[in-house]
Structure 1
Amino acid sequence: MRDFLTGVRLFGRGLTILLRAPRLLWLGMLPAVLTTLLLLGGMVALVYWADDLAAWVTPFADDWAAGLRSAVRLAAGVALVAGALVVGVISFSALTLAIGGPFYEHIAEKVEDYLDGPPVETELSWWRLLWLGIRDGLALVLRSLVYTVPLLVAGFVPVVGQTVVPVLLALVTSWFLALELVAVSFYRRGMDLGQRRAILAKRRTLALGLGLPATLLCMIPLAAIVVMPVAFTGGVLVAHEVLESRA
């Protein structure tokens, strides 16, 4: 519990740092705005075509009674949109970090200079950050689907689907989001996704303390534009915390 509260505190400290350095906040918001526009466009298109997509994934219901067919396809449409929202939250940070690589590396550098953290082994080019962000982001999104898809299906189970499942879904999303938020600090020290996951797994509740408020706040329309740079700065602080403890 203490580690979880530490993660929440570091998330809040990220906001404090950026309020004292508004230029860094604006820098972090620019890539988030672009990513928001891209994902928002995708979500609008998905909602618009939801009926057709629901019919496409449920061809077995073509000959069913109209009422039952409509109910099944409504459930399928809701599941598609809900799944896209979960994937969007997870992929949002990966896309934002990939698009705004130089901006976020600059923020990480400024915060780490202030913290006097572990030495940086390598300076990364924008192309390198873009490649790492896309590669690892895709790997995390695919891995997250292993957990989120069964949970989305379980969401249709009465009672459990409306109580336990949303909590588990939020925790799973928070864990993968936290892995993305600390990525740049680990990249700057030559550490790959496997090392990042192994190190952070030892402080999982700390990671959840960072990822959970970020996940919940990102569900507020357009809030992610501000939440992303705040959460990223909190991720730099969390990375500093776990890397310092290994030194």
Structure 2
Amino acid sequence: MRDFVKGVGLFGRGVTILVRRPRLLLLGALPAVLTALLLLGGMIALVHWIDDLAMWVTPFADGWAAGLRTAVRVAAGVALVAAALVVGVIGFSALTLAIGGPFYETIAEKVEDDLGRPPAEAELSWWRMLWLGIRDGVLLVLRSLLFTVPLVVAGFIPVVGQTVVPVLLALVTAWFLVLELVAVPFYRRGMDLRQRRAALAKRRALALGLGLPASLLCTIPLAAIVVMPLAFAGGVLVAHEILRDE
């Protein structure tokens, strides 16, 4: 519990750092705006075609009674939108970091300079950072689906679906989000996704202390544009804490 509270505190400290440096906040918000526009377009398209998609994933209900068929397809539509929102939160961070690699590397450098960081072991070009961000982002989104899809389906179970499942879904989303938020400091030290995941697993509560408030705030429409750079600064602090132990 102490590590979780410390993670929340590091998120707050990241907020303080960027609020005091509005230029860095603006720098981090620019790629987030572009990503938000892209994902917003995707969500609008999803909502527009949701009826057709619900029919496509429930062909077995074609011959059912009208009332039951409609209920099943409404549930399928809700599940698709819920899954898209969860993947959107994780994918948002992945795509934002991929697009804004040089911007976030600058933020990471400034924050780590304040912490008295050691020199980075790996100097990465923008193209290399872009490739790593896209590759790891796709892997994390695919892995998150292994957890989120069953949880979304379990959300229709009475009682459990309205109590336990939302908590588990929030924790899963927070974990995959924080793996993205701490990426750049690990990249700068030549450490890949596997090493990043292993390092964070040793301080899982600390990681969730950052990821949970960040992921919950990102579900507020358009709030992610500001939350993303703030959470990233917190991610640099969490990464510094974990790498110090490593």
Please tell me the TM-score bracket, short chain as reference: over 0.9
State the match for 1:27 in structure 2: 27
State the match for 1:94 in structure 2: 94
Aligned residues between the structures: 246
Which SS does the other structure have where 1:47 is aligned? helix
- Aligned structure 1 segments of 4 or more residues deviating by more than 6 angstroms: none
State the match for 2:16 in structure 1: 16
- Counterpart CA distance in 2 for 1:124 and 1:235 is 19
- Counterpart CA distance in 2 for 1:89 and 1:19 is 23
Which SS does the other structure have where 2:221 is aligned? coil
- Counterpart CA distance in 2 for 1:10 and 1:228 is 14
- Counterpart CA distance in 1 for 2:6 and 2:225 is 24
State the match for 2:176 in structure 1: 176
- Counterpart CA distance in 1 for 2:61 and 2:200 is 45
State the match for 2:83 in structure 1: 83
Cα displacement string for residues 23-61 of structure 1 (whole angstroms, at most 9, x for unaligned residues): 000000000000000001000100110000000111111
Cα displacement string for residues 114-163 of structure 1 (whole angstroms, at most 9, x for unaligned residues): 11123311111111111000000111111111111110110000010011
- Counterpart CA distance in 1 for 2:82 and 2:48 is 14
- Counterpart CA distance in 1 for 2:245 and 2:126 is 29
- Counterpart CA distance in 2 for 1:99 and 1:60 is 41
Cα displacement (A) at 1:245? 1.7
State the match for 1:148 in structure 2: 148
State the match for 1:210 in structure 2: 210
Which SS does the other structure have where 1:222 is aligned? coil
TM-score between the two structures when normalised by the length of structure 2: 0.99
- Counterpart CA distance in 2 for 1:162 and 1:22 is 40
- Counterpart CA distance in 2 for 1:199 and 1:56 is 41
Identical columns (%): 82
Alignment gaps of 5+ in structure 1: none
Which SS does the other structure have where 1:157 is aligned? coil
State the match for 2:45 in structure 1: 45
State the match for 1:233 in structure 2: 233
The question of whether the paired residues in 2 share the 8 Å contact of 1:117 and 1:244 is answered with no
Map 1:55-66; keep pairs closer than 5 Å.
55-66=55-66
Map 1:186-197; keep pairs closer than 5 Å.
186-197=186-197
State the match for 2:198 in structure 1: 198
Cα displacement string for residues 213-245 of structure 1 (whole angstroms, at most 9, x for unaligned residues): 001000111100000000000000000000112
- Counterpart CA distance in 2 for 1:8 and 1:92 is 21
- Counterpart CA distance in 2 for 1:122 and 1:187 is 7
Which SS does the other structure have where 1:136 is aligned? helix
Cα displacement (A) at 1:7? 0.4
Letter in 2 for 1:3: D
Aligned-CA RMSD value: 0.6
Alignment gaps of 5+ in structure 2: none
Letter in 1 for 2:90: I
TM-score between the two structures when normalised by the length of structure 1: 0.99
